[in-house]
Amino acid sequence: MSVEVVGDSPTPTPATTTTGMRPVTVRTLVVAGILILTALAVTLMLRMVADTILLLLVAIVFAEGIRPLVVRVERLRVPKVAAILVVYVFLLAVLAGIVVVLVAPVVGEVQALIASFPRYQHDISNAFKQAESSLHLSADLGTQVAGSLNTAKDILLTVGGYMLSAVVDFVIVLLLGFLWLTSSDRLKAFVVDLFHPRQQHLAADVISEMGSRMGGYLQATAFNMVVVGVATGLAAWGLGLPGPLLLGILAGTASAVPLIGPFVGAVPTVLLGFTIGPFYPLIVALVIVVIQLIDANFVLPQVMNRVVSLPALAVVLALLMGGAVAGIIGALVAIPLAAAAHVLIVSVVVPAIHHTQGRNGQVTSA
């Protein structure tokens, strides 16, 4: 450290290196270390609570999806908490009614499929062998498919072990959704109050629109599940496949999973086509492809565009990023989150940028 003499009192000045740069002090190293440790701690904490955050996001989407029903009940001069309970009871009653109506035939079809599984496995294996013989193929596909079916059977039998976890998550989502509906109005008022009085109206509109987009995604997805499930079940029944009701439920449920859901839901339907003939799955696959194309090009765009209003590129990118970060659940919540972000960008960020540029005209929609 050098000393500069000013008058009679020496004043210390920071030492510099030969290159003119000040050396790194111990204090700087300590601060940098604390920041790095804090960042690592926050990252670790987020990873530990990632499942809880995902459940919260699913609960918010669910709550915003049923909010219109709650509002309608409230218009009958019913208190908010009572209105939420009424909607919950109604939805659970509808779900219970569906289960009661479908449980007997579904259980019957499952038992029939399990009892006939060895015969179906034999028929599918023979169908592949006949196809190999007709096409003069040397690969022993029949044996490989038989082994794959054994593995698939073991997987299906262990699915029940995950049902308890799914039920627990469902109850948690219901609880979090109830708490969100009861407290979101106060939270919205608190957030809006943080803004300047001239901006509070815009903030309230943006928050409401974000919730509407997220809830609309749930409504559109539920409608699409019903359409795909009914169409697939009727097609399976018309094609003479075993367990058409079960196949429709599987296809409808799988359609809720973006990207891979339609393919996963079609696999059991196509495989059961081998129980009728070696080339019958081609007919089944053609019918399923037609259903999926109609759904993907007419039904889904219509119901989604009305509530989500996202560009196709944004949808694909959201699904890819959501799936990469958190798997299937990440893909499920990716689109509603992207829709909320789209509202924020179009309504707040873009106008702010235009204002700084002196362009206060109407915003071009993305």
**Mean pLDDT of the residues in the chain:** 78
Supply the range of the domain harboring residue 95.
53-356
Q: Name residue, tokens 């003119």.
A: 20
Is residue 336 a part of any domain in this protein? yes
CB 265 within 8 A of CB 295: no
Is residue 41 a part of any domain in this protein? no
Tally of domains in the chain: 1
Most confident option among 34-43, 119-128, 226-235, 325-334:
226-235
Q: For the segment 46-76, what is each residue's pLDDT rounded down to a tens digit?
A: 677 677 888 888 899 999 999 999 999 999 9
Q: Name residue, tokens 């005209």.
A: 361
- Percent of the chain surpassing pLDDT 70: 73
Q: For the segment 317-340, what is each residue's pLDDT rounded down to a tens digit?
A: 888 888 777 777 787 888 888 888
pLDDT-based confidence at 1, cuts 50/70/90?
very low
Is residue 133 a part of any domain in this protein? yes
State yes or no: pLDDT of 85 exceeds 90. Answer: yes
Is residue 232 a part of any domain in this protein? yes
The residue that leads in pLDDT, 131 or 19, is 131
Is residue 171 a part of any domain in this protein? yes
3-state secondary structure labels for all residues of the chain: CEEEEECCEEEEECCCCCCCCCCCCHHHHHHHHHHHHHHHHHHHHHHHCHHHHHHHHHHHHHHHHHHHHHHHHHCCCCCHHHHHHHHHHHHHHHHHHHHHHHHHHHHHHHHHHHHCHHHHHHHHHHHHHHHHHHHCCCCCHHHHHHHHHHHHHHHHHHHHHHHHHHHHHHHHHHHHHHHHHHHHHHHHHHHHHCCCHHHHHHHHHHHHHHHHHHHHHHHHHHHHHHHHHHHHHHHHHHCCCCCHHHHHHHHHHHCCCCCCHHHHHHHHHHHHHHHCCCCHHHHHHHHHHHHHHHHHHHHHHHHHHHHCCCCHHHHHHHHHHHHHHHHHHHHHHHHHHHHHHHHHHHHHHHHHHHHHCCCCCCCCCC
Is residue 22 a part of any domain in this protein? no
Q: For the segment 248-281, what is each residue's pLDDT rounded down to a tens digit?
A: 888 888 888 877 888 888 888 887 877 777 678 8
Is residue 3 a part of any domain in this protein? no
Average pLDDT over residues 74-91: 92
Per-residue model confidence (pLDDT) at position 319: 80
Q: State the pTM of this model.
A: 0.69
Is residue 173 a part of any domain in this protein? yes
